[in-house]
Amino acid sequence: MGDVCHTCTACGITKARSLRTQYNVHKNSENDLVIALAGNPNVGKSTIFNTLTGLRQHTGNWPGKTVTQAQGNFQHRGRNFILVDLPGTYSLLSNSLDEEVARDFICFGQPDATIVVVDATCLARNLNLVLQVLEITPKAVLSVNLMDEAKSKGIHVDLDTLSRKLGVPVVGTTARTGAGLDELKEKVFQIAHGYEETKPISVVYDPEVDEVVQQLLPKVRPLLYGLNLNPYWVAMRLLDGDESFLQSLTRYTQRGELWQEGDMALCPQ
């Protein structure tokens, strides 16, 4: 993962400023925890957001975007959590404005944890986004929602096995009744504070691709100072020629310009 300074307050100050100016996320206290809420469309993500935050929410647009932004608050164990509802997306590969917004917040907003909501009735279809989030950050909790519908259809989801395979906490939820949401809040609390260790599953790439990525890593790591980002994933995005990500890296960190056109000589044509 990216190198994060633990010996001074500069990283925390930069993070707070970025949240406020780039994303309109305002922390009332340095103890507030920021949580991203991600998921495919139509998985009950908005219901989870509304149930957790109640009337303690407001909507607007993401700065400079036409994409709606929803934020809310909930409390757990005496701590205030700011829940940021990301646009519903099927991936984080920036093929649309919604995907770009969701990707950038998880990467550069540096949330204290990310909840990924999936549909228990069609779990396999949702796992693409889950794996992409886990490539970016280990601080994630999986909410397997619509468990009541899965049960009515005779679908059994082995949550313990899923958690063991993915390497992150997995909670079964039924958002419309509130079932499982207390456990979800507790898992988010544990992950956000670093009380529970996660070991996300690693995506294995072709050896030839991996060889090129290993060559790129020395150039990538300096770009990520102060960011808790997986340098391997960043190298993959640059290797893929993702101009949108490079622009975001430059915009949010002022370091993307260190990646020169000549660096692409390492990339296969």
Q: Write out pLDDT tens, residues 10-19.
A: 444 455 456 6
pLDDT at 269: 43
Per-residue pLDDT at 28: 87
**Does one domain contain both 71 and 136?**
yes
Q: Given 147, 164, 193, which residue is the final one in a domain?
A: 193
User: What is the rounded CA–CA span in Å between residue 175 and residue 179?
Assistant: 6
41-70 mean pLDDT: 87
Q: Is residue 28 part of a domain?
A: yes
Number of domains in the chain: 2
Q: Are residues 227 and 188 in the same domain?
A: no
Residue at 202 is within a domain:
no
The CATH number covering residue 54 comes to 3.40.50.300
Do 138 and 226 lie in one domain? The reply is no
Let me know whether 28 and 117 are in one domain: yes
pLDDT tens sequence across 212-241: 999 999 989 988 888 888 999 999 999 988
Picking from 131, 163, 193, the residue at the C-terminal end of a domain is 193
Domain assignment present for residue 4? The answer is no
Give yes or no: residues 175 and 238 share one domain. Answer: no
How confident is the model over 176-188, as pLDDT tens digits?
A: 999 999 999 999 9
What is the average pLDDT across 119-125?
96
Closest CA to 38 of 159, 108, 136, 142: 142
pTM: 0.88
Whether residues 45 and 70 fall in one domain = yes
**Contact (CB, 8 A) for 144 and 171:** yes
- Could you tell me the residue range of the domain that residue 130 belongs to? 10-193
132 belongs to a structural domain: yes
Given 193, 223, 238, which residue is the final one in a domain?
Answer: 193
